[in-house]
Structure 1
């Protein structure tokens, strides 16, 4: 069986969870099918990977229109595939075109949903209407839709009621517990300005509103004094958001927060070291269909404090592998908390619970490592995806 996997991101250019998913899933699928990968950007060295550039005529166009411009080339290149498997709206429309053009079965993995990310209009402008169109068209036309969590399945049915429940399968994101494991080395942290002589809370995320990073900044002054908050943030959606983040970071630092900001993506080893060294991993997302980074922290033996939204409660077991923070969105808030200050304080309270009880934290970290290994292996996830391919051919 030939399967063409379509994704905007693919190594070495990976900036989010969907790119990690495409990378890890493809490694396992290559053992099961004749896999070809199509991605955006510059040529890749692997013979089974084809990269597609933005057409020259669209070089200065809206980013959403650029993505749509790449879709026809991706669809044409998928000729001969038995299944096309697309990831995120950037590539979903290419999968839909391949289905129409070649009669190929289209499997779509939903990593997030545009109707639930209204802040994307801040980044894409009118392109948000285009991305929403691409997603809706592809979701409703796909042969099967894979939801990365049970919560995502519920969101799909709510946002796209025309989509029959029998066309949706739930297959969680996964984790490579050989790659993500507890390590004792901290040599790569010190050059980043991270001190290894004090209690540390870590957060690693793209700088986008859905990750709730501004709320974690506001929680920083309420952390136990002497706690170092390390925030690794990269790929800001907009210059305005980056400026807002910097302004709040300066404000909370003046209030006494011990804050370290790393703005470049971490190397894999530096990420392992940070997740292993931190006493708590913080995930303040206001929208999170699954959250691979929580699995990465758990696999490194670190307890997680996270917002109880989306698929996070399916990963982080409250009171066992970490603590969940209740979340209530305000009406007409675009997904932001009804009371931002109360949310920040509640988040800090739960982080402080674990900082104040290292023995409990270590126990949760060990439980998280076991849960990641037992429930979320990529080999198991690839086998489930392979069965879905077989069902549509």
Structure 2
């Protein structure tokens, strides 16, 4: 089967969970189908075609620039038997290909525009366009993949015109041969961490969705013996960037051992940081699944995370970590949960071991790819 995988992010330009998903899914799909990846960027390599926004739109709203990439991708996928798009950045390209070539369009929903109203802060009127693109594509797609059961419920609530029979749950995966405990410490040394003190670790983008301001306020009152490491970059807007910087400076004044790493670290360094963390924290206010929690679990680290979206399908409360309700007491709940894990190293170790076992047992990418190809075959047969 000739498949076109359509995405904004693809290595080396990966900045979020959707990009991680596509990277590993593509790796496994290559042995199962004839795959071409179409993504943003420059140049072409074997099996990967990169597209850039039209130069005539330099400086224009990002939504318009995205649509220009979608047109380029749609023109380039002629000859594919099926296209599979990821995120609103690529969904319209898949929809155009479906109409133009009469081929099935499968789309994976990693998040939903109606549930991210803060994007209006980033895109302005472009948020109306991104929402239109997502709605147009999702309501016409031959199949919609939800990365969690909770995500499936959100999809059907946001888009009631969508036939529930076309929405399929295929969880995100994790490469547990790559994400596994690494007990070397050179990455910790480069950060400047004190090896004799435990640390709380956050890895993610600086966005409203990831709940970073909540975390910065919550860790003010966490056990002062713990260090705090924030691998946080790619702010959505200047406003959230300024808010983060102000909160970080305030946090640094009230406690020591606070480290901010504003750049994307190499994967090997992230794995070391995950391995040695006393606890990983995911304070998202919206999260369809949360691959980063799987990454932490695969490295044998207990997780404190918000009880939102698909996170409870990954983090088993009291077994692989602690879930915190994202209500009016969210920040104090985060503080309490982090202190509970930090204060009981033996229980934390058992949670980490259970998390590793769960990641290996239930979330391998090979199984995800096989389920995805099974869906492709079913859709093509029906077409």
Shift >4 Å, 4+ stretches: none
For 2:256 and 2:322, locate their aligned partners in 1 and report how far apart those are by CA, in whole Å: 22
Q: Deviations over 1:88-122 (max 9, x none)?
A: 00000000000000001000000000000000001
For residue 19 of structure 2, what is the aligned residue in structure 1? 19
Could you tell me how far apart the structure 2 residues matched to 1:385 and 1:343 are?
36
**Post-superposition offset of 1:194:** 3.0
Partners of 2:256 and 2:215 in 1: how far apart? 12
Structure 1 contact 58–65 (Cα < 8 Å) conserved = yes
Pairing 1:187-336 to 2, within 5 Å after superposition: 187-256=186-255, 258-328=257-327
CA distance in 1, matches of 2:331, 2:377: 46
- Listed one character per residue, the Cα deviations across residues 141-183 of structure 1 (whole Å, up to 9, x for unaligned) are 1000000000000000100000011000000000000100001
Q: CA deviation at 1:14?
A: 0.2
Q: CA shift at 1:200, angstroms?
A: 0.6
Q: Deviations over 1:66-103 (max 9, x none)?
A: 00111111001111111100000000000000000000
* Shift in Å, 1:255: 1.9
Which blocks of at least 5 consecutive residues in structure 2 are unaligned? Answer: none
- 1:376 counterpart (342, 346, 363): 363
Q: Indicate if the aligned counterparts of 1:64 and 1:127 stay in contact, CA closer than 8 A.
A: yes
Q: Residue 202 of structure 2: SS of its match in structure 1?
A: strand
Could you tell me how far 1:240 is from its partner in structure 2?
1.5
Aligned to 2:373: 386
**Aligned partners of 1:390 and 1:195: how far apart in 2?**
53
Counterparts of 1:361 and 1:47, CA distance in 2: 44
2: distance between equivalents of 1:371 and 1:151? 19
Secondary structure at the residue paired with 1:188? Answer: helix
Partner of 1:124: 123
CA distance in 2, matches of 1:348, 1:187: 29
Mapped partners of 1:41, 1:137: distance in 2: 25
Deviations 1:224-257 (A, max 9, x none): 1111010110111011211110101111222225
TM-score by length of 2: 0.98
Check the 8 A contact 1:220/1:257 in 2, yes or no: no
Q: Distance in 2 between matches of 1:122 and 1:51?
A: 28
Unmatched 5+ stretches in structure 1: 329-338
Does the residue aligned with 2:187 lie in a helix, a strand or coil?
A: coil
Partner of 2:209, secondary structure, is: helix
- The 5 Å alignment of 1:91-240 reads 91-240=90-239
- The one-character-per-residue Cα deviations of 1:201-231 (angstroms, maximum 9, x if unpaired) are 1000011110001100001111111110101
- Please give the secondary structure, in 1, of the residue aligned with 2:352: helix
Measured after TM superposition, the shift of residue 197 of structure 1 is 2.2
**Residues 64, 128 of structure 1: 8 Å contact kept:** yes
Per-residue Cα deviation, 1:334-371 (whole angstroms, up to 9, x for no partner): xxxxx3xx321110100111100000000000000000
Indicate whether 1:88 and 2:87 are aligned: yes
TM-score norm. by structure 1 comes to 0.95
Output one character per residue of 1:315-343: Cα deviation in whole Å (capped at 9) or x when no partner. Answer: 00000000000123xxxxxxxxxx3xx32
Answering whether residue 332 of structure 2 is matched by residue 345 of structure 1, we say: yes
Shift, 1:186, TM fit: 1.2
Rounded to whole Å, the distance in 1 between the matches of 2:194 and 2:47 is 42
